[in-house]
Every structure is written in C-alpha cells, then in structure tokens.
Structure 1
Amino acid sequence: MSVCGVFDQFVEYKRRKIEPATLAKYRGLQKHVSVFLKNKTCVSVSESVAEKFRDGLLSARSLKPVTVGERIVLMKACWEWGQKKKLLVENPWEEVKVSVLPKQRPDPFTLKEIESIVQKFGSSPNLKRFLDYVEFKFGTGLRTGEAAALRWRHCSSECDRIWIGKSLSRVC
C-alpha cells in the first residue's frame, strides 16, 4: 500500500472527528507527503526515510521546528491508526524526533527601569494621561489583554479595594 493512500485514508477518517482548523494541518501535511513520499510504499518507509522526510520539512523555510514536530506526531499517529486497521506492521516514526529550542523567558524590567518609565509618563504632557494605566499595569502585572478585558462586574461584592503600587485604590 502506498504512503499517500494510507495517509489519505487516515485524513478521511480524522475529517469526521476533528475541527476544521486541525484538519487544515492534516491537509497541509498531505501535500508534503505527496511530494516527499509520492512513490513510496508503507513497507519501504524505514526510520532513515522518516528522518529524511523530517529533514526535508525542516529545510522548508516556511516551517518552524515546532511545526515540523507536530507534523511528525501526525505521521506517527497515521501509522498507529494503520496498525490498528491491520494495514501496517511497524511504525518508523516512533523514534523520529525534532529538536525545538525552549522559548526564551521574558526579561522583566528592573525597579530602576520601572521608576524611569513611570517618571517619564508623569512628566510628559503627551503621555501624562496614560500614567494611571501604566502604574496599574506595573502594579498588578496584568497582561495587556487581561487588563483590556477587565470589567467592574468581575469584582465580587466583598471586594472594595485593590492594591496598586504604593496605595490602595477603590475599585468596587
């Protein structure tokens, strides 16, 4: 059986079980499978062929290592499905790994930098109107999206004050 044939069957099986956005990942991988493994039978796909496929995906400039890792997981899942359906015997994708560098943690502002930023907002006529917001963000550590979504109704009835920086402010 051909790799493309098995993968097409797998995508058809998954189509009824997954969200459209997830299905798009399968369809994107389907194109790569048809290009890289077009004439291969499933039996001829060894771990070294699977690694070459991975390397080909990594060399495609449009795919990041984390995306390639996801695609390899999909190939592994395809083979596992094929094994359950008695279409395939061995899974060459089992040991194929993709190295992904850990995400770099943000470098927070120092106390001196925070004081400098707050001072700049307080002393600039153009920025002064944002001073309360800047102090609120520094004081609470909220992300921008969280602060934008915050509403008065989110405060419980027991809440009457919140600590912001150096003073208590009435919020509810």
Structure 2
Amino acid sequence: MVRAKKGSVSISNVDGCLRLRWNYFDELGRQKRFTISAGAVSETNRKAAERLARQIELDIASGNYDYSLKKYKQGLDRPESITVEALFERYINTVIDSDRTSSVDRYKTIRNHFAKFQRSITADGCTEKKAIAFMRYLQNCGQSGETVNMNLTCIRAVWVWAIKKGLVHVNPWLDLKVDVEPREQAKPFTIDEISKILKSFQGGFYESFVRFMLGVGCRIGEAVALDWNAVNDDCSEVFIKQAYNLRSRKIKSTKTGKTRYVPVSSKIQALLQELRKSATSDIVFPSPKGGRIDRANFRKRYWKPTLEKLGIEYRSPYNTRHTRWSHEIASGNLDIATAAQYAGNRPRTMLDRYYGATKRPKLSDFD
C-alpha cells in the first residue's frame, strides 16, 4: 500500500479569483494535483480559503483526506458574491483585448445600465426574474430588439466566464431573448436625390465631407477619424483603420476590428489632393474648430435641415453608406464580394443590411 505524503495547500490569485492548489495521491496511489476555486478575491473569501487550506492539510496529515473533495467544496458553496459592476470590470480587464475599443465600450455601457437598474446588485442576486426585469429595462430605455439581444449575448458571455472562475453559480441569461421585428430594407438615395444633396452642400464647410461619405461609403465614424497618414501619396487609396467614438470622444478600432484599403474614384482622388494642399493638421475632415467632427451636431444642424429644404425623405447620414454600395452593386461595377471587402463587411451582411434596390424592373414573361 502506498503511503500518503503530507500535502501543502497554496492559495493564489488567478484573474481575480482565489484558487487552492495542492499535490497529493489519489485513491489508486497516483500523484495528482487538486484545485478548488474559492470565489472572488475578498477578505471574507480569503479567510474562508485559509481555513479550508488548514483543514485539507490536517486531513492529509491525519489520514482523513476526502478524495471526492465534497467535504471541502461544501464550505465554499456560498462565497461572498461579487457585484455585477465589479464582475464586468474584471471581465473587461481580463478577457477583452484593450485594442478592441468598440467591444470595451459595449461592455462598459452594459455595466453602466446595471448600475442605473439597481446599484450594487450582486451577480448571484441576478435571478431569472431579475434578469427578465433587466431585459425589460433595456427595452424601456429605447433599445431595439436587435440591440437588446446583442447586449444579452454579451451578458451571457460574462456569466459563462464567471461560472468557470467560480464567481457565480447559475446563468439566468441562457434562454433570454426578445422578438426582433424584420429589418426594413435599406432605402438608398436616388441619383437625382444625390445630385440635389451635393448641390445644396456645394461651397459650404461640409461639402468635402459629404462628397467623401457618398463617394466612399465608409461608416461615419471612420470618415471622422480619417487622418492623412491613412491616405496614400497620390490620394488614390484610403486605409480605413480606425473610427471616432462619439460617446467617449476617442479614436478606436473599426466596428469589426479589421482594417481595409479602399481605392477611390477619380473625383474623390482629386478632392483629397486639393484638401491635402491646404491641410493644416493631420485630420482630413476637421470640424470648424479644428477637432473631430461631431456627427450628432452635423446631423442636427446641417444634414436634416438640408433634406427638409430639398423635400427629400429623411434618412440619416449613415444612409450614404447604404447608397454607395447599393448603387455599386446594382450598376454591376462591383460584385458582392468586392463591395463587401471595400465596405468592411461580410457578403451576407451586405445583402441583409446595406443593399437596397435602386431599380424595380418588372418580372419577365415565359412566353
């Protein structure tokens, strides 16, 4: 019979979680490493972990070791619960790549919603009933069904990670989702509407900005964040590598976290060449005060009044993106795959979200 050796239990901090670890022999006499999670780092949980470590060492020394570990886990079934805000902060700092600022912003926004919903709510306090109430809260905040479901997906990911770390015990978010209304097909501006819009902005401060958005079809934040170091020497190509976040007023990665090159038309090339000659900063499209354009201010004070004056049905500045790619695909100038590459999307996304019919030809007859 193999004689058991006395084990020494160590307590360590692993990603904000207390972990007990020790080496000992299993029931068949084979040396094995054992671990038990003791919950989030806190004074209460640490004291409990220290008591348990002493108990395990005593049992090993006295020959009363519980190979099933049930005896030792029972004392940690209810570690001190972490608050949801702290849980999200730990997830953000531990799991999410800090360079993916769009993801960081989304999780921080969800964390802030929890604080407004119920301050200091604990993760274990999020019962299924409470989770449903929070989902309703997001809807009452004006979030679309699609946005709510995206947020629920993020929350589920946090809870799955937290369960693995021993921070929570149950995931009440697994089956939660809201019904989503069918997305309306994009309604691009017609050639006539584009002509009127460009003519209305002609000579104004934002003429170049509007021409670029309609001409390149990038996201508004990407146009706002464009710097001259992302435009090649002859201005025939732009490198979309970042976006401007209006909420945080900081430069971040693109929505998808990917970069792309876009070869521009000869007119947009000439536009960029003229702008570069008179540039006084690294920002391609500066605001009247020299900083980044505030797209909310642009939409409210310039874009919306212009469409109203022209009698054009209102569509947000983002519709310039729908417009560019819808016309490119409909004209046959670009295939779906190439358009998706330039737009920074997957082909399926292009069809589902951005491609709106610019023509309505009749169906043909068979005879």
Q: Same fold (TM over 0.5)?
A: yes
State the 1:105 CA deviation: 5.5
Structure 2: stretches of 5+ with no match in the other structure: 1-81, 188-324, 339-360, 362-367
State the 1:84 CA deviation: 1.1
Q: Is the 8 A contact 2:88 2:108 kept in 1?
A: no
Aligned to 1:4: 85
Q: Is the 8 A contact 1:42 1:88 kept in 2?
A: yes
| Cα distance in 1 for residues equivalent to 2:332 and 2:110 | 36
| Cα distance in 2 for residues equivalent to 1:72 and 1:45 | 13
Aligned to 1:25: 106
TM-score by length of 1: 0.59
| Match of residue 174, structure 2, among 94, 107, 123 | 94
Aligned to 1:55: 136
State the 1:143 CA deviation: 2.5
Per-residue Cα deviation, 1:47-102 (whole angstroms, up to 9, x for no partner): 110000000000012x2111011111111111001011111111011121111112
Per-residue Cα deviation, 1:4-34 (whole angstroms, up to 9, x for no partner): 1111111222332662222221122121022
Higher relative contact order (CA 8 A, sep 6+): 1
Q: How does 1:32-51 map to 2 (within 5 A)?
A: 32-51=113-132
Q: How many residues align?
A: 118
Higher helix share: 1
Q: How does 1:158-169 map to 2 (within 5 A)?
A: none
Aligned to 2:322: none
SS in 2 for 1:43: coil
Q: Is the 8 A contact 1:3 1:37 kept in 2?
A: no
Structure 1: stretches of 5+ with no match in the other structure: 108-141, 155-164, 166-172
TM-score by length of 2: 0.29
Within the alignment, does 1:70 sit opposite 2:177 as a pair? no
| Match of residue 326, structure 2, among 140, 143, 158 | 143
Higher strand share: 2
Q: 1:106 to 1:7 in 2, by over 3 A?
A: closer
SS in 1 for 2:168: coil
Task: Give percent identity, aligned residues only.
Answer: 22
Greater Rg by CA? 2
